[in-house]
Amino acid sequence: MKLRKVGFQQRLISLLVVTMLVTFLIVAVSTQFSTRNNIINNAIRMQNEALEIKTSLFDVYLQRIQQLSNNLYSNADVYKQIQIEEPDSTNSYRIFLFLKSLRSMSPGTDLYQIYLDNYSSGLGYLVSEKASSYGTSRYHIKMPYTIPRDKVWGEGPLLSSSYGFSIRTSGRSIYSFHKRLYDYAHVKPLATISFDVEVTALRNYLFGEENDANSIFYLIQDPGEIIFTNGFPLTQQQINTIMENCESNGWSDIKLNDFSGIAFVGDAQLEDLNFHLVQMISYDDIFSEANQVFTNNILLMMFAFLFSCLLITSLVHQVSQPLHDLDSYVTAMEKQGLHPDSPCRLKDYVHYDRDDEIGHLAIHTEQSFLALQEMFSRQENLNQAYRTAEAKMLQAQINPHFLYNSLQSIASVALQHGDKETFRYITQLGGMMQYSMNLQQNTVPLQKEFEHVKTYIALQNVRFAHELHYEAELQPEAADILVPKMILQPLAGNAYKHGNVCRKENSYFYLSAQIHDNNLIIITENNGDSCPEEKINQLNLALMNPTSSELSGDSGIGLKNVLHRLRIYFGEETQMRLTANSEGGVRITLTIPLTDARIDSQ
């Protein structure tokens, strides 16, 4: 199966599409990467600030608990009442009212209940949100004796109790702050006061009622007791890992079994109680919105990519269609060849009229084909001219080799009789015959043409017994330029035939050749008979069209032959111009255009 050839247009479209696709991918990936970094940085900054606020709230809360626990010392009357071993109802009621006032001063959120266990009187006092009571103490707080005096001790989370009173309460998860009260000497314990805080109320106070649905939070008491959380439980090892990693910056990347994200830690303290607020946000929650935006951007970029592909295809088609049409024109010219009966025209294939690179390429392509056709036609004409000249020469000569050999024999006889001058002239004539009848050599260096003219004038001087002064100037750079053979001798012949230089005293013939502005300039000049100006103008006009009937005379045929052969070889830009000489005679100027390649090759 033959594979379909991929054209320039398809390759260009593919290249542009791939480039655009790679660009889109790079932009998408770099944008997503930058966005994720910005989101992480913003999340860290915002969560740190939020956790600092929550930690500050908790610090204030703990300080308020401490103030409430110390109010018994600051209220001298109540402090005195709790030291009475057998208080009456008035004494007990005053203590009861004081505890109620303490509950009304709850820090930030209502205390669930306050319990006072009076060791001196053996009475207990309970003030809660639903019911309150006091009476004989049936429940004693068992604080570890390792707790320093006047220090708060925390316990929880645990289920709430009525501390032995007949009060119906639903069991709620609470955290209790306990403090043992002493006499002024701090020796004898007087009572223990407990502040029970509902865990749910404390959680809502710190993290809000919505409880930060996108994050997991913990309140942890040293050495690792979780007071409350809205997420999964943590082992002691996991808690230690989080604390160690977040110790320096307050946050850290965390990877647990079922969690990968960022953890933030804030520390709060109430005397010897150390608490840690821990908030963890998973990467899925952090990037959920970014991933949705990324998905939307991908869909948008896909739409833009498809639209761009259609636009690129349309633009490439518009840009490359002239090239495709030009290719069709070149293919048609290739099939047609260089000698068509009805040549292909560019305008029939390419419809592009803009003055840009493509327009110039189309015009130059057509001009190149026209130049090739002209060159091919010129070569055919040159070949035909050589064949015609060869036929005429063969018809005009009767056994030229016999004549040449006969001349050589006569020259030998003259030399035998001591007539060296006759020998020289006959030898020159034989050389001219050999030069003109050598059909194997169509072009010769210009220097050979100069030598041929020199020999021709020398023989003419013998013929007319008259010394014609001959002067030649050949620029060295022009000496080796190849020209058609026998182009200068007809010009010298016109000086004898029409200028009668052979009968005029002090007559001369001047011949020169030089290169000027990439043109070969050949000039012949004589001081023979003058030519009427009207005749010169007619000849110049006729030389612009060598097929004109104005060149039908003897001189016209010679000039026509020379110009025609030069144009076949050098191109139609070759020019011949006649001007009248001030001393009589005619000046003929040949201007032959040269290409750099032709000069370099010769």
486 CB-near residues (< 8 Å, 6+ apart): 436, 449, 452
Q: Is the dihedral of CA 578, 579, 585, 588 positive or negative?
A: negative
Separation between Cα atoms, residue 443 and residue 451, nearest integer Å: 15
Pairwise pLDDT comparison (5 vs 434), residue with the higher score = 434
Q: How far is CA 195 from CA 66, 127, 520, in A?
A: 10, 10, 122
How much is the pLDDT for 402? 61
**How many residues are there in the chain?**
602
Helices then strands, each counted (H, E), the chain: 15, 18
Encoding tokens for residue 383? 């070949």
Phi, psi of 220 (to 5 degrees): -120, 135
Separation between Cα atoms, residue 463 and residue 467, nearest integer Å: 10
194: enclosing H helix or E strand = strand 189-198
Residue at token pair 């007619």: 538
Residue at token pair 């035939």: 497
Q: Is 210 a residue whose pLDDT tops 50?
A: yes
How much is the pLDDT for 5? 60
Q: Which one-letter DSSP state was computed for residue 4?
A: P
Tens digit of pLDDT for each residue in 535-557?
Answer: 888 888 888 876 544 444 555 56
Span 25-50, mean pLDDT?
Answer: 85
Q: Is 321 a residue whose pLDDT tops 80?
A: no
Lowest-pLDDT range of 240-249, 277-286, 352-361, 561-570: 352-361
Percent of residues, the chain, with pLDDT higher than 70? 89
Name the pLDDT band for 266 (thresholds 50, 70, 90): very high
Using DSSP bridges, classify how beta strands 469-474 and 443-445 pair: parallel, antiparallel or unpaired. unpaired
Lowest-pLDDT range of 57-71, 210-224, 353-367, 582-596: 353-367
Phi, psi of 500 (to 5 degrees): 50, 40
How much is the pLDDT for 548? 47
Q: What mean pLDDT is reported for the chain?
A: 82
Name the pLDDT band for 207 (thresholds 50, 70, 90): confident
Name the pLDDT band for 179 (thresholds 50, 70, 90): very high
Encoding tokens for residue 547? 């097929």
Max avg pLDDT among 255-264, 356-365, 394-403: 255-264
Q: Is 22 a residue whose pLDDT tops 80?
A: yes
Pairwise pLDDT comparison (505 vs 91), residue with the higher score = 91
Separation between Cα atoms, residue 533 and residue 379, nearest integer Å: 36
**Domains of the chain, with CATH numbers?**
442-601 (3.30.565.10)
Tens digit of pLDDT for each residue in 392-416?
Answer: 655 555 556 666 666 666 767 677 7
Lowest-pLDDT range of 21-25, 44-48, 478-482, 511-515: 21-25
How much is the pLDDT for 549? 46
Q: How far is CA 114 from CA 240, 247, 280, in A?
A: 33, 35, 33
Name the pLDDT band for 601 (thresholds 50, 70, 90): very low
Residue 581 and residue 526 in contact, taking contact as beta carbons nearer than 8 Å: yes
Lowest-pLDDT range of 9-23, 498-512, 541-555: 541-555
**pTM score:** 0.53
Tens digit of pLDDT for each residue in 99-113?
Answer: 988 888 877 677 889
Residue 266 and residue 61 in contact, taking contact as beta carbons nearer than 8 Å: no
How much is the pLDDT for 375? 78
Span 562-580, mean pLDDT?
Answer: 90
Pairwise pLDDT comparison (367 vs 539), residue with the higher score = 539
Burial of 360 (C-beta count, 10 Å sphere; 0-12/13-18/19+): exposed
